[in-house]
Structure 1
Amino acid sequence: MVAHVQPLADDPEFEEEGFQDDDILSTASLSSSILAYEVEHGRSYHAYNAGKYVLPNDEEEKDRMDIQYHALRILFEEKLFYAPIDKNPQCILDIGTGTGIWVMDVGDEYPSAKVIGTDLSPIQPQYVPPNVQFEIHDCTEYPWTFNDNSMDFIHTRITNGFAVRDWKAFFQEAYKALKPGGWIEDQEFDLMAFSDDNTLPSDSAVVKWCTLMNEGGLKAGFDLRLTSEKIRCAMEEAGFKEITVLDLKLPIGVWPADPRLREAGKYGLGAMLYGLQGISLAIFTRFLGWQVDEMEVLLAQVRNEWRRRRVHSYWPIFVVYGRKPLPE
């Protein structure tokens, strides 16, 4: 059982309704696009396998991913991963790398390793550590193009919940690509916000949004209600051993009493306030049949609820890692 997160006592420093998005958010200038991206309702999407992935790839989405990354670094106590990999890995692969920030941090941490990040769009910075490279790759197309037994560590995080339809097949491909003794780690979340003290009622706009997102995800062919047990079982079926599961909670907002969790929650909230439209748009319009204006009314209600410090909501976050066994 994951420990209850203690809320912060009433603090006049924070206004209940007046928490400003600008207190959280900052933008970064990233490299321009080199592909003819699809544009839909004012947001750009991947041109490679167009329509298959429902999240945008534009500047707003890149900023959201970087804010989310910062929230998770704080939640994970600055750990880049939890798997007990070898001290001198030769080749590390990040599936669904997004802006590439994790790959660059790992490249700095392991300068002698080749670190590869893959995604559907080349949205990563131009100037990166010399041991880092990025490739266009769709992790849901099998078989993968990587050589068998070539990777020491494979990492993937969150966005694959919006892409992977068959987790067993996904982990089977990872198993083939890993060297014997290599590790895989998957960090995911359940797209259903919770509260431990009933401050997020079942009839809230947040719960309604989560429910609709999950309905739309199923219509699109993927399940956003991921659990650590589902990922653990898929890893086990693919052949992985020494599987370890960590269940955590990422607060949404500055309500926790614990300073580290409050800081993580600040960025967790920022990622949602900033990225809510991009996360929602394709699912609501393509698969649920909503009009954009209709959707925006609901999203405004969701943002207003999340800005209230009395709402003690969080995302269930889980980390699952396992090892490809050595030959007997």
Structure 2
Amino acid sequence: MNRAPNDEEQLEALDLIHHWLTLMLDDKLFLPPIGDNPQKILDIGTGTGIWAINVADEYPSASVIATDITPTQPSFVPPNVEFQIDDAQLEWTFEPESFDFIHIRYLQGTIGDWDRLYGQMYKALKPGGWFQHIEPDLQMLSQNPEIKVDDEQYASLPIRFSTVLTNTSIFTRWAKIFTQVGETIGCTFDFSNGKLATLAKDAGFVSVTPQTHKVPIGRWPRDKKKKELGTFVGLSFSQALDGFVKLPLCEILKWSPEEMQLFAAEMRKVLMNPKTQAFGHVFSVYGQKPERPKESSPAAE
């Protein structure tokens, strides 16, 4: 499933997401210790290709293959990058045990069988090779306890509706809506409760290292670095919002365009209000395919 349209606005938003994810990782493209001389790197769901291009520049020793279901990548790229049109849900055709590092991020709502994908990733990695996977949490929150982020359009409803509607923040509605979308299409958006680490361990990876990264949304933090991070998170979310919600809400949940636009406008309004002090979480995990056991020398007779 291709959730969002690949127009210029959406593609620019993907590049903004890449920028703030790099900031989130302390100006790193990834976290696992892949070494200084990787030979082959795979980027699944590459989008605009910006991560693949950057990692190819950083590791000229590596041949970088980047795949996506749509051809939205630039024409002028480093000579060690190859873009391929491919669906990661189908059987992978890469040679087994051929990659030193496999990178996946932001494929929420697009994969029907994550266990199968992790199994294919395990098969494609060399013994001792690493992977990294990053996905956002659905549930956004407010750091300001004095601010209520309830849906304003329900504020004037009769009291009998209060427990159903006015106690439900727009952030909670967002999470519930996309949980429902995921259940409807069979492609989850929900990676909470350690799901990434569970996928990795079930596939056979070792040295599995999950992390939860808190990210501000908007310019409200006082800390300079957090303010920069929050600014780009807010920009990317605001720019991608309409395109991101249109297909799930209108085509899958059958909302009217007016309902979708109202929801998106209110979500944007609440998020961009600095008094909300909105933040979210991003889940990351990396792990290693076990090294091949060293052959023991035959015992002396």
Is the pair's TM-score, using the shorter chain for normalization, greater than 0.5?
A: yes
RMSD of aligned alpha carbons: 1.4
Counterpart amino acid of 2:119?
Q
* Aligned counterparts of 2:17 and 2:148: Cα–Cα separation in 1: 22
Q: Deviations over 1:191-230 (max 9, x none)?
A: 1212344345463334323321221122111221212611
The one of 93, 101, 106 equivalent to 1:145 is 93
Which residue is 1:110 aligned to? 59
Which residue is 2:25 aligned to? 76
Which residue is 2:245 aligned to? 280
Q: CA deviation at 1:316?
A: 0.9
Q: Deviations over 1:118-147 (max 9, x none)?
A: 101110010001101100111111x21111
Does structure 2 conserve the Cα–Cα contact (< 8 Å) formed by 1:167 and 1:231?
Answer: no
Percent identity reads 38
> Following superposition of structure 1 onto structure 2, how do residues 176-191 of structure 1 map, counting pairs within 5 Å?
176-191=123-138
The one of 77, 101, 112 equivalent to 1:128 is 77
Normalised by the length of structure 2, the TM-score is 0.88
Q: Deviations over 1:130-189 (max 9, x none)?
A: 101100111111x2111100100000111x112122221111000000000000100111
Count of aligned pairs between the two proteins: 275
Counterpart amino acid of 1:194?
L
Q: Which runs of 5+ in 2 are unaligned?
A: 150-166, 294-301
Which residue is 2:161 aligned to? none
When residues 304 and 196 of structure 1 are mapped into structure 2, their CA distance, relative to the original with a 3 A threshold, is closer
Aligned-partner SS, 1:140:
coil
Q: Deviations over 1:9-29 (max 9, x none)?
A: xxxxxxxxxxxxxxxxxxxxx
**Structure 1 segments of 4+ aligned residues over 2 angstroms from their partners:** 195-211
* Aligned counterparts of 1:103 and 1:149: Cα–Cα separation in 2: 20
Which residue is 2:112 aligned to? 165
Which residue is 1:240 aligned to? 205
Aligned-partner SS, 2:72:
coil
* Aligned counterparts of 1:231 and 1:243: Cα–Cα separation in 2: 10
Does structure 2 conserve the Cα–Cα contact (< 8 Å) formed by 1:88 and 1:110?
Answer: yes
Does structure 1 conserve the Cα–Cα contact (< 8 Å) formed by 2:15 and 2:48?
Answer: yes
Structure with greater helix share of residues: 2
Normalised by the length of structure 1, the TM-score is 0.81
Counterpart amino acid of 2:43?
D
When residues 133 and 186 of structure 1 are mapped into structure 2, their CA distance, relative to the original with a 3 A threshold, is same
Residue 87 of structure 2 corresponds to residue 87 of structure 1: no
When residues 323 and 200 of structure 1 are mapped into structure 2, their CA distance, relative to the original with a 3 A threshold, is farther
Aligned-partner SS, 1:310:
helix
Residue 246 of structure 2 corresponds to residue 318 of structure 1: no
* Aligned counterparts of 1:279 and 1:103: Cα–Cα separation in 2: 23
Does structure 2 conserve the Cα–Cα contact (< 8 Å) formed by 1:251 and 1:265?
Answer: yes
Q: Which runs of 5+ in 1 are unaligned?
A: 1-51
Aligned-partner SS, 2:212:
strand
Q: Deviations over 1:52-103 (max 9, x none)?
A: 2222222121011011111111121111000110210000000000000000
